[in-house]
Structure 1
Amino acid sequence: MNSSPAGSPSPQPSRANGNINLGPSANPNARPTDFDFLKVIGKGNYGKQSHIMAERSVLLKNVRHPFLVGLRYSFQTPEKLYFVLDYVNGGELFFHLQRERRFLEPRARFYAAEVASAIGYLHSLNIIYRDLKPENILLDCQGHVVLTDFGLCKEGVEPEDTTSTFCGTPEYLAPEVLRKEPYDRAVDWWCLGAVLYEMLHGLPPFYSQDVSQMYENILHQPLQIPGGRTVAACDLLQSLLHKDQRQRLGSKADFLEIKNHVFFSPINWDDLYHKRLTPPFNPNVTGPADLKHFDPEFTQEAVSKSIGCTPDTVASSSGASSAFLGFSYAPEDDDILDC
């Protein structure tokens, strides 16, 4: 399990990740003292109140898809917000990509297919993800994709609807977002194209250390695809990274267009969804305590006593629950993820 305590119930709650032990029963009044905080495995950014509540809402819907991280508990104290998430210790895709620089097409195809399946599911719930990048794609203990971090998701976007919030990560922003135009769910397919390009070539497609130049590249530079790739891979990249969102692959029939592209012809999508396909890479973790795929910068850090052992842990839960109405959650039956 991952715990993501988030700072004070003000407009700027902080976020952190830890490795914890989950108690044997589902306690609707869970609090930090119900958990053992074992290790720091990562740290996040600050989030706004609306993002925190949106993330909780999306997380509750994720339990029905194999490639989305699920929420086990959420609770609050007068000082902090906590998410207890599925524990995933195969490492970030970003971690493996940095180590290996690029992936061969079969491996990149497998990850792209599982990610596309997850994005397609979110779209079926009228949710736009908006922050697809290798840092938000985890591998589980078997090597399957687990998409995480739903703070920038936008709910309630019907197939013909648009939204206009400027958000995302610079390297993966779609042109329509940069132009501050209304955009739809096709932004996620642009991001899939950018991630696939990075998996195959080692850098995002329009990358520059100068962010202004990178934005200029995204808006105006033709896509450059280095040699050595199959025709199918090149066509998929060109189709996903089309600067006109109306002409982009996925803009009309959404996930169905992605599934039917020739690049994914080796994929049996039903087998993929049910995890009957053997992942191309095995993280080879020895168990939940194996942290070799986490950055030692975090795992060697002492767990702050303020995360789970502060005066607010003994405060009245009724006093805490009013700050973020509807935030706390506990399942009826606890289904612990084995690894």
Structure 2
Amino acid sequence: LTSKPTSAQKRCCRFTSGEWFTPGVLRICLKLFNMVVFIDYNASDLFLRSTVSTHLSDFSVSSVSTNHICAACAVLKRGLMMLCPDGTVWRWWRRLFTKQTTNKQTHMQVLLAKLKADHKFYAVKVLQKKVILKKKEQKNIMAERNVLLKSLKHPFLVRLHYSFQTAEKLYFVLDYVNGGELFFHLQRERCFSEPRARFYAAEVASAIGYLHSLNIVYRDLKPENLLLDCQGHVVLTDFGLCKEGVEPEGTTSTFCGTPEYLAPEVLRKEPYDRTVDWWCLGAVLYEMIYSLPPFYSRDVGEMYDGILHKPLPLPPGKSDAVCSLLVGLLQKDQHRRLGAIADFLEIKNHTFFSPINWDDLYHKRITPPYNPNVKGPADTQHIDPEFTREMVPNSVSRTPEFNASTSSNNAFNGFSFVGSEDSFL
């Protein structure tokens, strides 16, 4: 379409022939083959721009760009349009979440996106490489990607459909689960009835038990990481702190998690095992029942002292079964904690869960106690308006101040993934 290929184009393994096509020929190629195309034009050449847009209108290409793209090396943002490496076209819909680092730079954002090929909606988690590399968290990101791949076959774990990268950013394309965070519903209702809390705790325990069967410790269980789907079932998300390769008798020692839900052994910086997740389940269940996490205090030091040394407060008015479960899960000695011997089986067999048919639970044959009344696949009524009111960025693939290097790309080798059509949702 224009002059000689640039050095960036020459480096692309999919750009080897040096051939340039007219828009009409390019349209025929797109019709015959599953191609991801690079289109270059002079910004002042309005005739060529119009011609290209006309010829490619059937392929959802609303504009063209001087930026290089190919199936092997990148994705391309076109205004509010984006091409995935496998050739799929996305349209950014709405911002769902933004997380900033202490210097106010955007660390992570989640956008609602529509896949133009099938008109389905997905949540796209966007991470900046420069922040990840600066904080030396590339291993965590690759671990998150690996865990997402392993957890495809469980109904209460979010599903990864695609992962891909640009020179500046990483992308996870996940299920859009729009019933709201459990935290959102807890804030609104303060606490749940025991039957409702039991239902959520059972689905969470099932998901955690499945991760443990894969030798994965989750380590960051909290209401913010528990979503409700359109029917009201729990979906566990955010696997950034997961630890792979922890055998039944194995331990790990990284200090990580969320302050309100940290287990005593983590605070003591001792080696800990899978039971750290059962402590967190106890803390989440306690919050669902009593409206606040156990030992909660605005003074973090006081809260840590309670976690380490104080007896578990159990205000009256709750059943013996739930109190027994809370005492077992929130046992300060990890070796005596419920789940220390038989893991999920001990949780599953506790009296509190006796009303649960676990096979029916797994296959979603139990009607959830609460229906979010989601109005459609793009409904955002249960998403914090703080995020949905924000404008979708003009580009999610380019960060002007970031200069990509070969080392930054090599740090995430093997990141890209395209999933199958199998799904529980």
| TM-score for both structures, normalised by structure 2 | 0.69
Is it true that 1:204 corresponds to 2:293 in the alignment?
yes
Inter-CA distance 154–28: structure 2 relative to 1 (3 Å threshold): farther
Alignment-derived partner of residue 416 in structure 2? 328
Alignment-derived partner of residue 198 in structure 2? 109
Q: Distance in 2 between the 1:203 and 1:58 partners?
A: 30
Is it true that 1:53 corresponds to 2:108 in the alignment?
no
Inter-CA distance 310–206: structure 2 relative to 1 (3 Å threshold): closer
User: Which residue identity lines up with residue 114 of structure 1 in the other structure?
Assistant: E
The C-alpha deviation readout for 1:209-253, integer Å capped at 9, x for no partner, is 000110000000100011110000000000000000000000000
Structure of higher RCO (CA pairs closer than 8 Å, 6+ residues apart): 1
Alignment-derived partner of residue 238 in structure 1? 327
**Bigger CA drift: 322-331 or 211-220?**
322-331
Q: Distance in 2 between the 1:114 and 1:276 partners?
A: 12
Inter-CA distance 327–119: structure 2 relative to 1 (3 Å threshold): same
Inter-CA distance 320–210: structure 2 relative to 1 (3 Å threshold): closer
User: Which residue identity lines up with residue 325 of structure 1 in the other structure?
Assistant: N
Shift of 1:44: 3.4
Q: Distance in 2 between the 1:282 and 1:150 partners?
A: 26
Give the gaps of 5 or more residues in structure 1. 1-22
Q: Distance in 2 between the 1:187 and 1:324 partners?
A: 29
Contact 1:87–1:337 (CA under 8 A) maintained in structure 2: no
Inter-CA distance 28–268: structure 2 relative to 1 (3 Å threshold): farther
Larger radius of gyration: 2
Q: Distance in 1 between the 2:196 and 2:314 partners?
A: 18
Is it true that 1:87 corresponds to 2:142 in the alignment?
no
Q: Distance in 1 between the 2:407 and 2:384 partners?
A: 37
Aligned residues: 310
Is it true that 1:141 corresponds to 2:217 in the alignment?
no
Q: Distance in 2 between the 1:133 and 1:180 partners?
A: 20
Contact 1:86–1:337 (CA under 8 A) maintained in structure 2: no
Alignment-derived partner of residue 177 in structure 1? 266
Shift of 1:281: 0.3
| TM-score for both structures, normalised by structure 1 | 0.87
- SS of 1:85 mapped into structure 2: strand
The C-alpha deviation readout for 1:178-234, integer Å capped at 9, x for no partner, is 001110000000000000000000000110000011000000010001111000000
- SS of 2:331 mapped into structure 1: coil
Q: Distance in 2 between the 1:335 and 1:285 partners?
A: 23
CA RMSD of aligned residues (A): 2.4
Is it true that 1:298 corresponds to 2:353 in the alignment?
no
Contact 1:62–1:70 (CA under 8 A) maintained in structure 2: yes
Identity %: 70
Match of 1:219 among 301, 305, 308: 308
Alignment-derived partner of residue 39 in structure 1? 94
Q: Distance in 2 between the 1:28 and 1:125 partners?
A: 32
The C-alpha deviation readout for 1:287-331, integer Å capped at 9, x for no partner, is 1121100011111100111214778xxxx9x99854411111112
Q: Distance in 1 between the 2:234 and 2:301 partners?
A: 32
Q: Distance in 2 between the 1:151 and 1:28 partners?
A: 27
User: Which residue identity lines up with residue 39 of structure 1 in the other structure?
Assistant: R
Q: Distance in 1 between the 2:154 and 2:394 partners?
A: 34
Q: Distance in 1 between the 2:331 and 2:390 partners?
A: 43
Contact 1:134–1:195 (CA under 8 A) maintained in structure 2: yes
